[in-house]
């Protein structure tokens, strides 16, 4: 798609990010180099994976990157965080209001 200029965009890379989590940041770098900067969905895939693996430092790093890129969280961003809290049995902090 990149070589033939066939409508490549961030969505073109979503399935790759979903499958190859271990190499996901390399894919994110490739996306940038090819002119398809990651969108919120791309970062949400990383966020979900880190939430699932229980790596809070990397989860926080993804949230910080989303903020640095000027993106706003969406329902999938919050779903990942809520599911992680539920998995850990930390319901108390979810009901703030």
- pLDDT, tens only, 15-43: 776 676 778 888 889 999 999 999 999 99
Residue 79, CA distances (Å) to 27, 60, 73, 75 in order: 23, 15, 10, 6
| Per-residue model confidence as pLDDT tens digits over 57-78 | 888 889 999 999 999 999 999 8
Residue with the larger pLDDT of the pair 68 and 52: 68
Query: Hey, is 48 helix, strand or coil?
Result: helix
Whole-model pTM? 0.71
40-53 and 24-33 helices, crossing angle to 10°: 170
């Amino acid at each position: 798609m990149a070589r033939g200029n066939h409508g490549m965009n961030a969505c073109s890379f979503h399935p790759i990010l979903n499958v190859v989590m271990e190499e996901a940041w390399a894919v994110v770098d490739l996306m940038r180099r090819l002119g398809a900067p990651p969108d919120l969905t791309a970062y949400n895939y990383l966020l979900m994976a880190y939430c699932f693996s229980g790596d809070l430092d990397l989860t926080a790093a993804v949230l910080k990157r989303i903020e640095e890129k000027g993106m706003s969280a969406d329902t999938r961003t919050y779903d990942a965080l809520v599911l992680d809290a539920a998995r850990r049995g930390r319901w108390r902090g979810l009901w703030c209001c």
